[in-house]
Amino acid sequence: MKLALKVLKYLVGLIVVLLAAGFLLPAEYSAQRSVTINAPVDKVFPLVANQKEWKRWSVWNQRDPNMTMTYAGPEAAVGSKWTWTSKSEGNGGMEIVKADFDKTVAYVLTIEGIDNPFNGRIDFAPAGDKVKVTWTGEGNVGMSPIGRWFAFFMDKMLGPDLEGSLKNLKELAERKG
């Protein structure tokens, strides 16, 4: 009995320390990945700017082939919006807030049940018949100490998805035809 109380005491103490440490962690997070694509920017940019093309290369769309997508607004321009429902990926929405041809596509992503939006940007740096594509995601988890622990590990959690999506985008853009 004394051993069980001692273990419980240390466990509660550990939880208190972890929660307190969570308040000391930053609320902001970011993740960034890049890839060089052997295709001209005018072939790559439309695959990102057009919301209907994302399902061809985004790992989030590919994880759930039964994901329901609904599109609104102009195609491949500021104001393009889409929402999705998915049993495995959750429900959410995305809106393009900036689209400078051959330079950048910025968006705001919201996920049902998460208060703070995710801000993403995909930048293009053309170099002849190639283009370097850099995807940056940023956000803020607010005051929650548990959320701050998630922010602390966000690069490791989000990075592989960015890498996988950029790999798919590269393969799609480099296809002949």
52 contact partners, CB below 8 Å, separation of at least 6:
71, 75, 82
Q: Would you say the C-alpha torsion 77, 84, 140, 46 has a positive or negative sign? A: negative
- The pTM score is 0.86
Query: What does pLDDT average to in each consecutive run of 10 residues of the chain (177 residues)?
Result: 81 79 84 97 95 93 90 92 93 96 95 92 95 96 86 90 97 87
Per-residue DSSP letter, 123:
E
pLDDT in the model for residue 19: 77
pLDDT in the model for residue 171: 97
3-state helix, strand, coil split of the chain in percent (to 5) is: 40, 35, 25
pLDDT in the model for residue 35: 98
pLDDT in the model for residue 92: 96
